[in-house]
Amino acid sequence: MTDRTEPRRGRPGYDQQGILDVAVGVFNAHGYDATSMGMLASSLGLSKAAIYHHVSSKEQLLEMALGRALSALEGVLDASHERGDALSRLSFVLTGAVKVLVDELPSVTLLLRLRGNSEVERAALTRRRAFDHAVTQIIVEAQRDGSLRDDVAPGVAERLLFGMVNSLAEWYKPGGPEDAERLAADILAVALEGLRAH
Amino acid sequence: MTDRTEPRRGRPGYDQQGILDVAVGVFNAHGYDATSMGMLASSLGLSKAAIYHHVSSKEQLLEMALGRALSALEGVLDASHERGDALSRLSFVLTGAVKVLVDELPSVTLLLRLRGNSEVERAALTRRRAFDHAVTQIIVEAQRDGSLRDDVAPGVAERLLFGMVNSLAEWYKPGGPEDAERLAADILAVALEGLRAH
DNA sequence: GTCTATAAATGGATAGAC
DNA sequence: GTCTATCCATTTATAGAC
């Protein structure tokens, strides 16, 4: 994975990654569909035509951002296989997903708002559903071994857990009062123990 | 509140409510910005021009739907004031919000996806923030009286709870295996007691 | 209440100069 | 690597007939 923040060498104008970073920010601010190449151009301080020197289409920008987000999430799932019992794996995935959301907030935010309006969007949604399904299987296992209550359907539990995690895209502000580890701990605490005082 | 489903009297063509119901469905399927009046027209089986006989603009359709969603949510908050302690009020609001989401799924879904791209959208987001703030105040009170744990910041708790509730807009299907009461009970159970087996 | 036709603006994308 | 100028499809919305 290339480092987005490293300043480039020759440094005349933008490179593709620089275009992408700005584009994802504007996509998230106004929504992908509501963002025109003209808005993108003025955010970049370029003409519309100049953007097409770096990318072939608006949709290619979307595709690159979605690939980044999905790879990061899938990486968490892959790493979780090394873990022991199902509850440990679930905790690891939730914590990892929060970290991904915080680290890759722009691209994941874009992913979470997809409507499936094009082939690119539908392919991303399919990959995302596979992720959700894999997490649901971990929950099934944890219910089976008795570490999670089984009176909540595993699919519902998965969606509620990621409802909390994914809500970060709507309200987490980098540099705010809460850091990623604290948020991950809060979410895990609510998910496993609940909010009621003991 | 008028009944959407009641068949109209004269019944030649559409009335405004009929246009709105179809429009909100199409807005949600493709996203408001990605929906053109042309798509709307073909979903209605009308010409674009005919739509303008019923509404003055695409944005008016959005405004009407958002008003419906916000009024329903605010109604839950108003009704909660009759309740006793803070924890009862919070449970009532969460359950009520789930019921609103299920009953008014299309308009609430639209509300939850706003980006603030126009005055209409920003006004709706302001009303929605007021709702979230009022719920946060209930949580503050419940932490103060000792019924909720206070090691999770009240604002974070509120966003996590409504992260679960609002996620319904992304996956709840009317007529599916789970009904509204069951879902409300599941969410309340996870929110208060957590998923870990006891 | 709905139509056809059309206006006026904006959309994504390209050509070719520098 | 960026520009100006432009193409062409699509957009929201209106005019006026039926």
DSSP letter, residue B7? P
* φ and ψ at residue B196, rounded to 5 degrees: -65, 140
- Average pLDDT on B60-83 reads 96
Answer whether B191 touches A (CB < 8 Å): yes
Q: Is the CB of B55 under 7 A from strand C?
A: no
Select from A120, A33, A111 the least CA-distant residue to A71: A111
Q: Between vectors from CA A44 to CA A40 and to CA A46, what angle results, nearest 5°?
A: 95
CA–chain centroid gap for A76, Å, is 11
Chain A residues in contact with B167 by the CB 8 A cut-off are: 159-160, 162-163, 166-167
Contact assignment for A29 to B115 by CB distance below 8 Å: yes
Nearest to A149 among B168, B170, B197 (CB): B197
A166 token code pair: 């994914």
Give the pLDDT of residue A175.
Answer: 86
Nucleotide C15: closest residue by CA–C1': A49
Is the predicted pLDDT of residue B198 greater than 80, yes or no?
yes
Give the pLDDT of residue A2.
Answer: 46
**Average pLDDT value over all residues in chain B:** 93
Answer whether A192 touches B (CB < 8 Å): yes
The nucleotide whose C1' lies nearest the CA of A46 is: D2
A158 token code pair: 């998965």
pLDDT tens, residue order, chain A (198 aa): 444 545 544 445 899 999 999 999 999 999 999 999 999 999 999 999 999 999 999 999 999 999 999 999 999 999 999 888 999 999 999 999 999 999 999 999 999 999 999 999 999 999 999 999 999 999 999 999 999 999 999 999 999 999 999 999 999 999 877 899 999 999 999 999 999 999
Within the 92-121 window of chain B, which residues sit less than 8 Å (CB to CB) from chain A?
113, 115, 117
Q: Is the CB of A125 under 7 A from strand C?
A: no
CB atoms within 10 A of CB B191: 24
Is the predicted pLDDT of residue B9 greater than 80, yes or no?
no
Read off the pLDDT of residues B125-177 as tens digits, 9 standing for 90 and up: 999 999 999 999 999 999 999 999 999 999 999 999 999 999 999 999 998 77
Closest residue of chain A to B150, computed from CA coordinates = A197
Chain A residues in contact with B165 by the CB 8 A cut-off are: 163
- Average pLDDT on B6-16 reads 62
Nearest to B160 among A187, A192, A193 (CB): A187
Provide the shortest C-alpha distance from residue A147 to chain B (in Å): 5
Q: Quick one: pLDDT band at residue B12, thresholds 50, 70, 90?
A: low
Q: How far apart are the first and last CA of chain A?
A: 44
Percentage of chain B beyond pLDDT 90 is 88
Read off the pLDDT of residues B88-122 as tens digits, 9 standing for 90 and up: 999 999 999 999 999 999 999 999 999 999 999 99
Give the pLDDT of residue B175.
Answer: 86
* φ and ψ at residue A121, rounded to 5 degrees: -65, -40
